[in-house]
Amino acid sequence: MQIGLIGLGKMGGNMRERIRLAGHTVTGYDRNPEVSDVSSLAELVEKLEAPRVVWVMVPAGAATQSVVDELGGLLESGDTVVDGGNSRWTDDEKHAEELAAKGIGFVDAGVSGGVWGLQNGYALMVGGDKEHVERLLPIFEALKPEGPYGYVHAGKVGAGHFSKMVHNGIEYAMMQAYAEGWELLEKVDSVTDVREVFRSWQEGTVIRSWLLDLAVNALDEDEHLERLRGFAQDSGEGRWTVEAAIDNSVPLPAITASLFARFASRQDDSPQMKMIAALRNQFGGHAVESKE
Amino acid sequence: MQIGLIGLGKMGGNMRERIRLAGHTVTGYDRNPEVSDVSSLAELVEKLEAPRVVWVMVPAGAATQSVVDELGGLLESGDTVVDGGNSRWTDDEKHAEELAAKGIGFVDAGVSGGVWGLQNGYALMVGGDKEHVERLLPIFEALKPEGPYGYVHAGKVGAGHFSKMVHNGIEYAMMQAYAEGWELLEKVDSVTDVREVFRSWQEGTVIRSWLLDLAVNALDEDEHLERLRGFAQDSGEGRWTVEAAIDNSVPLPAITASLFARFASRQDDSPQMKMIAALRNQFGGHAVESKE
Amino acid sequence: MQIGLIGLGKMGGNMRERIRLAGHTVTGYDRNPEVSDVSSLAELVEKLEAPRVVWVMVPAGAATQSVVDELGGLLESGDTVVDGGNSRWTDDEKHAEELAAKGIGFVDAGVSGGVWGLQNGYALMVGGDKEHVERLLPIFEALKPEGPYGYVHAGKVGAGHFSKMVHNGIEYAMMQAYAEGWELLEKVDSVTDVREVFRSWQEGTVIRSWLLDLAVNALDEDEHLERLRGFAQDSGEGRWTVEAAIDNSVPLPAITASLFARFASRQDDSPQMKMIAALRNQFGGHAVESKE
Amino acid sequence: MQIGLIGLGKMGGNMRERIRLAGHTVTGYDRNPEVSDVSSLAELVEKLEAPRVVWVMVPAGAATQSVVDELGGLLESGDTVVDGGNSRWTDDEKHAEELAAKGIGFVDAGVSGGVWGLQNGYALMVGGDKEHVERLLPIFEALKPEGPYGYVHAGKVGAGHFSKMVHNGIEYAMMQAYAEGWELLEKVDSVTDVREVFRSWQEGTVIRSWLLDLAVNALDEDEHLERLRGFAQDSGEGRWTVEAAIDNSVPLPAITASLFARFASRQDDSPQMKMIAALRNQFGGHAVESKE
């Protein structure tokens, strides 16, 4: 089938290739003319036969909103827009309503796979009305990994991004789990080869996983991670997961601890720990470390 | 080779079978005569040719201590004892010294695999002197999963149990990660099929793992886990992991949160939340829920 | 001076009394005619001489919005509205802009004091432009506790509610601190009189505080809090504090733990702990507690 | 009455002064001859009339053990030893048994007050048999603050140090509460005077406390704590509190979070965050910050 794909960055570019390899026709648009197949969104829409399918793969927030707005003006009733970016699930309903007013369908798709997706396939979590989702099935089939897993129609509009968001929240805590264990093992003297302990865990243990395999890869490149700084970014979904938990009165202690550990990792100095030091000094006369 | 195996419960019994399937001779002892090959530890020791290897697979603490003490009196210089139970790593050095005084070697082996070990193999994390560990290699080879992983000589005496303990600490936080994500997904309306979301994650995602596969199995048996109570035991290793972290000044927020969530799950009513309710009532006149 | 006061519930009613005791003229309005001085907002506005000052003391969210909207239509340029309720700080800027369009000033005031405020005074944290805040000083003076403390002009519009929100976040963690300590003391055998331990802490310790005094009051009424359930509500500010922290990449582990402990206290059964139990059963054959 | 006091450091020296001001006779011993009243423990014991009372105020662990051992050899049946240091409660029972074998009584006393104790009095939490505790009452009376609070006989041997340990655990979480709130307030633009917000909280709020007063003192010395590093020591009691909680299956999320925040504050770089960065790079090609 035919599909338009907007956003040809690291993710979008690889997805275009994987869809084409499955035999579909992809017309890609990107602001960067070197990778773009067309010179404007208008040209992209023109090139597609109605009813059109357009997959949006641009940064969440303002960029996605702007593309959705522009597509609302270019597309026709019966067309379908898929937001495959990392949008917050609360944006999906707004986008769906905005487009529905013009008869345009909307599907949200959470996409997991990172740099491995081109080769292994992308896991897809999809939200939207059945009629819109079903039009997309050949594309989902092309993108997803082989085998029975890696695709789910999770529910209504927003359910795809919500599921992907929770996936990332879980990912935060799993990464934190391995990271905490690794630090503790590295700290004690009796364990003399932590990398080999991690490597051995790849079979027969309760904690074997793809993330564990990646940890072993990382340790093979740099046994004690001495070339890295302990500085971890976060990309939004972890924050949204905690916010969704608060909205729903669900306690998420491990996921939240993992998010906060990242926040702390990015501070040169901790203001709250200055206050702790100041208070200890006030009541106990404890020495403080000063800036010089 | 020949080996004595003490403790033929759920784990020990299956391990005897797996070692025998690999062609070794196992003499097993258990207090339960129905499963025991011999009627006493003394008889077990008598049946083995020197230098003997005896694998202890009994509950950590008093039971293991008692067997080690008794073996200290029965075995000879040149024999080797393996503690494959869930002993605390701090016990290992004591046991090693006690036996070394009689010329008996000591190896600690953390064993992972649970009810799946007979079929898939047991992951083994081993601590001890090279000479003692190497005598055991044929047995480790028989127990471990096929392939390159699932066995490590982690370091000195204690390193095996320490590594297994950290494995379990990581396991706590990974389980908590999936559990938190599952609860949040179950709570929102837009996601209409949480089980299928979990199932889809088994390929192509960052969070695919054996524990995820087990979660899907569990949901296939009971889609919303309605037949279970939210009551989670802990078996000691999680506690020891946190204690080891405290000894080493290593922050373990996610693992500790996971342990505390289990503690809380076992309380009929939370004393600390009574105090919160009492304080809110004191300063704000907020209604409290009384026992009626 | 003259002031209109909208909302005469537990807080508003006492505040009217305290302002009157200071010699000011308060015209109060409440939907409940039994406590109201006037029969409508229109009548309240009519009774006040321009430039008017109206203090809004109704529930945050829709109720406050509705009163602000209505006042926007009734008041005149030069009048001032104070929102003394528990509004989210993000609402303040919206309300200020809405009223500023009509020349009406806006001040946000976070108010602490609960049922003790009438007697001891209310702590006030105020945000807004200096000119609007200064008009209110006689009222703030009447409401605040005697002495040098209990009032601050914290900054721009929103700063009052933001400061009060953080106050409540701190309060959550302080209450949790005492609650955790109390539970631990109650659990051990060697400490035979926990209430007397708490009582003794009221002088000479690092942890003496007003909340501690309240804890002792509560224990004097019910030594082991046996008449309460461990069930703790939360009123919004704790959630907003965590959300503000996430917006600002500030780690708040203790405050967030305190919020989550309240969430958990309100669950009859913990879904996430069901998943933990299910996973333990899957890999270890561990017994689970079923619903019977 | 007469008392021997061993250890005349920051705490012990001030305590000697406060006891003397109350009219008692204190014979002090310290390894530092400049502050010591006698030249040896033997001389100290000799100077006291039987039945003697000796207060030990030396660092917990080896130092206290050594003094207890030496006193066991010097004192006689009917004498009483008080351990007023920061000993772990688990040491108390050992010391009590060791001395009881010689007919010597033992009392454990947790002492709070820091550098303010000389002036305000020391809060005392005491454990031990009634007969031994009652002999000490005149000394406790001299040390404690005036008024009805600041002293408790908490229970059996160990209960004093256990109560003091929990006091310190609570203190950790209270300090963390203020520190988290302060960091959040400092981070936002709308709040222009955080120090004045803290100052205002000293009356009329739910969170007024002595620690809050100290925080204001600290901010008066250094408004944004710019002269300090965010580096916080811990003195043992926080760790023991968490360990006691684990022993008793009591969840302590806020206190433990406070302890871990201190651990993290003392790391130049976070090993666990290196692992997070490494994993993000592995699966997402996310940039990492390298050491240069």
Per-residue pLDDT reduced to its tens digit, C173-183:
999 999 999 99
Out of B98-102, B253-257, D116-120, least confident range:
D116-120
CB of C147 less than 8 A from some CB of D: yes
The answer to whether A278 contacts D218, with C-beta atoms less than 8 Å apart, is yes
pLDDT digits (tens, 9 = 90+) for B142-153: 999 999 999 999
Is it the case that residue D292 has pLDDT exceeding 50? no
C168: which chain B residues are within 8 Å (Cβ-Cβ)? none
Q: Tell me, yes or no, if B144 is annotated catalytic.
A: no
B243 interfacial to chain D (CB closer than 8 Å): yes
pLDDT (0 to 100) of residue C290: 72
Active-site pick, B156, B164, B237, B291? B164
- Determine the residue among B11, B195, B275 to mutate to test chain C binding: the one whose Cβ has the most chain C Cβ atoms within 10 Å: B275
Give residue C292's pLDDT band: very low, low, confident or very high (50, 70, 90): very low
Answer whether residue B286 shows pLDDT above 80. Answer: no
Interface test with C, best of D120, D122, D190 (most C CBs within 10 A): D190
- A264: chain C residues, CB-CB within 8 Å: 251
- The pLDDT value recorded for residue C291 is 64
pLDDT tens figures, D131-170: 999 999 999 999 999 999 999 999 999 999 999 999 999 9
Whole-number Å distance between alpha carbons of C9 and C28: 11
Q: Of B17, B70, B98, B171, which residue is the catalytic one?
A: B171
The tens digit of pLDDT for each residue in B77-130 reads 999 999 999 999 999 999 999 999 999 999 999 999 878 899 999 999 999 999
What are residue A27's phi and psi, to 5 degrees?
A: -105, 115
Q: Neighbouring chains of C at 3+ CB pairs within 8 Å?
A: A, B, D
Q: Chain D partners of C176 at a C-beta cutoff of 8 Å?
A: 173, 253-254
Q: Do A158 and B190 touch (CB under 8 A)?
A: yes
Query: Across residues D211-235, what is the average pLDDT?
Result: 96
How far is D71 from chain A, CA to nearest CA, in Å? 29
Q: Compute the average pLDDT of residues D83-96.
A: 97
- Please give, rounded to a whole number of angstroms, the shortest distance from the CA of D215 to a CA of chain C: 12
Residues of C marked as catalytic: 164, 171
Predicted local confidence at residue A216, as pLDDT: 98
Residues A143-164 as b or e (16 or more Cβ within 10 Å = b) = bbbeeebbbbbbbbbbbbbbbb
Could you report the per-residue pLDDT of A260-276, keeping only the tens digit for each?
999 999 999 999 999 99
- Across the interface, of B209, B257, B258, the residue whose CB is closest to A209 is B209
The CA distance from D105 to A147, in Å, is 75
| C123 in Cβ contact with D174 (< 8 Å) | no
- Res C153 pLDDT > 70: yes
Q: Provide, rounded to the nearest whole percent, the portion of chain D with pLDDT above 90.
A: 95
Instruction: Using pLDDT thresholds of 50, 70 and 90, give the confidence band for residue C287.
Output: low
CA distance B30 to B37: 8
Q: What is the pLDDT of residues B192-210, one digit of tens each?
A: 999 999 999 999 999 999 9
Q: Is the pLDDT of residue A59 over 90?
A: yes
Separation of alpha carbons D275 and D221, rounded Å: 39
CB C143 within 8 Å of CB C15: yes
Average pLDDT of the segment spanning C118-131: 96
For the segment A18-39, the average pLDDT, to the nearest whole number, is 97
Residue A63 touches partner B, C-beta closer than 8 Å: no
At residue D233, the pLDDT reads: 93
Bond from prior residue into B271 cis (ω within 30 degrees of 0): no
Strands B123-128 and B105-112: antiparallel
Phi-psi region of D225 (alpha: psi -120 to 50; beta: other; left: phi over 0): left
Chain A: residue whose CA lies nearest to C205: A283
CA distance D61 to D235: 12
pLDDT in tens, A110-168: 999 878 899 999 999 999 999 999 999 999 999 999 999 999 999 999 999 999 999 99
Rounded CA-CA distance C23/C2 in Å is: 10
Looking at the predicted structure, is the pLDDT value of residue C108 above 60? Answer: yes
Confidence of residue D115 (pLDDT cuts 50, 70, 90): confident
**DSSP string computed for chain D:** -EEEEE--SHHHHHHHHHHHHTT-EEEEE-SSTTT-SSSSHHHHHHHSPSSPEEEE-S-TTHHHHHHHHHHHHH--TT-EEEE-S---HHHHHHHHHHHHTTT-EEEEEEEE-GGGHHHH--EEEEES-HHHHHHTHHHHHHHSPSSS-SEEEEESTTHHHHHHHHHHHHHHHHHHHHHHHHHHHHH-SSB--HHHHHHHTTTTSTT-BHHHHHHHHHHHHSTT-TTB-S-----SHHHHHHHHHHHTT---HHHHHHHHHHHHHT-SS-HHHHHHHHHHHHHH-----B--
Chains in contact with A, counting 3 or more C-beta pairs less than 8 Å apart as contact: B, C, D
Please name the chains neighbouring B, where neighbouring means 3+ C-beta pairs under 8 angstroms: A, C, D
**Residue D283 at interface with chain B, using a CB cutoff of 8 Å:** yes
Q: Is residue C103 over pLDDT 70?
A: yes
Helix residue ranges per DSSP H, C88-188: 89-100, 117-120, 130-135, 137-143, 159-187
Instruction: Kindly list the structural domains of chain C, giving each domain's residue range(s) and its CATH number in brackets, ordered by start.
Output: 2-157 (3.40.50.720), 164-284 (1.10.1040.10)
Say what percent of chain B tops pLDDT 90: 94
Q: Is C15 on the interface with A (CB under 8 A)?
A: no
pLDDT tops 80 at residue A224: yes
Q: What is the pLDDT of residue A287?
A: 66
| C254 to D257: CB separation less than 8 angstroms, yes or no | yes
Average pLDDT, chain B: 96
**Does B269 contact chain C (CB < 8 Å)?**
yes
- Indicate if the pLDDT at residue B184 is higher than 80: yes
Residues in Cβ contact with D250 at an 8 Å cutoff, skipping those fewer than 6 apart: B263, C180, C183, C184, C187
